[in-house]
Amino acid sequence: MLHLRESQKHLDGDKSREELANAIAEVRGSFKPVEVTISNEGTSPLELRDSLYQQKLTQAFDNLHQDEHVQFMQTRFAAELDESSVRPI
């Protein structure tokens, strides 16, 4: 059974379910109809990815603000950190 967010329920349809079931059958080797439930419970993979990204971004900001080389540049040359350019790796 797959859960689909209320905001994405327009993606659910007979053709979509059939295509998904066929794709799964190719991988698993057996066909089984797909059941879709509209639900806002739990955490979706996209929500999990966004949460992890935000955690990494916060850590990147913290690391940059605590970095002695960054602090030196800010103090010595009145440099400013362009926070819009920060991306976690």
On the question of pLDDT at 1 being above 90, the answer is no
CA distance 81 to 42: 37
Per-domain boundaries in the chain: 1-41, 43-81
The conformation of residue 58, written as its DSSP 8-state character, comes to H
On the question of pLDDT at 52 being above 90, the answer is yes
| Residues 15-45: tens digit of each pLDDT | 999 999 999 999 999 888 889 999 999 898 8
Q: Which of 36, 43, 37 is nearest to 16 (CA)?
A: 36
